[in-house]
Amino acid sequence: MQTITTHSHAKLNLRLKIIGRRTDGYHELSMLNVLIGLHDTLQIRLEGGDGSVLFSMKGRGSSEIPNDKGNLCVQAAIRLIERTQRNDVNILIELDKRIPAGGGFGGGSSNAAAVLSAVHEALGQPLDEVELAKLALSIGADVPYFLRGASQVCVGGIGEQLHIDRSSSLRSTPVFLILGLPHLGTPVVFQEAGYSTRMENSVKKPTNSFPEEYGLLLSLIQNDLEIAASSLCGLLKETLAALRALNCGRVGMTGSGSGVFILPKDQTGFHIEDVEKLEEYCLSHALELVKSSII
């Protein structure tokens, strides 16, 4: 029997641009992604068996998250067993959730990538890097990003094109997260965005690098799904507008929402008066303010 304990981190899309749509319906994206300190914890146990996958979960929102084949963790384990034909092992997964579901932080995809990475290594790495990446993409568009394990990554295509930024220029940059807004489903938000197949011939290209200057990075924070998400959730629209009016830092939405983040005006940290404004706003609107940092 082998037991592995690992963390799976949340991500932020500092920039998310839709640059086209493929004939299969998937959207071509250009994103600037970073990992943050907020994480889930997984304990994964491998033992002799018949290829079964057993899953249990506790923590934040666990009652609202699928605990069967609808969970990406379980899908990752099942598909890896099938792909490697290792029906002689059972995989037992215990997940302790801290990353909120339905917020655009990629918690489920991060969990799946952690399971893939840990179990694949425990099985002796039977797949090459390309095969493992393809398996990751078949589980979810964000899974290849998390599987790479790098923080600052320019992501293109539907999630499979990864350009690692090795400067680590944003490491340790503090960030505030606003949690507690209504969950939004990714397919519903994309449908609301209403991008047509006419975008397939777009000449726009994905971004392949992070700007070196912090101020320039702040100016690039943008999410093409924000308007659609805001139209589906009036509280999200109201919150984004109010936070921007406070002028405590650069405000953005991650993924398809409804998670909101704030980066400081100065990379060294937030001013005390700005923190107080954010705390007061969240307290008065029954929202949760969580401090984290880019890793």
> Distance between CA atoms of 99 and 110, rounded to whole angstroms?
10
Pick the closest to residue 260 from 231, 220, 289 (CA basis): 289
Which residue in the list 17, 40, 97, 142 is annotated as catalytic?
Answer: 142
DSSP 194-255: T--GGGGG-------S--SSHHHHHHH-EETTHHHHHHH-HHHHHHHHHHHHHTSSEEEE-T
CA–CA separation, 75 and 68 (whole Å): 9
Query: 136 with 143: CB under 8 angstroms?
Result: yes
11 is catalytic: yes
> Rounded CA gap, 225 and 222, in Å?
9
Residue 13: closest CA among 199, 189, 242, 272: 189
Is 128 noted as a catalytic residue in this protein?
A: no
Count other Cβ atoms within 10 Å, centred on residue 187: 8
Q: What spatial distance separates the first Cα and last Cα of the chain, rounded to whole Å?
A: 32
Residue partners of 133: CB distance under 8 A and separation at least 6? 144, 147, 160
Instruction: Give buried/exposed letters for 231-246 (b at 16+ CB in 10 A, else e).
Output: ebbeebeebbeebeee
Q: Compute the C-alpha angle 110/121/13, nearest 5°.
A: 20
User: Active-site residue numbers?
Assistant: 11, 142
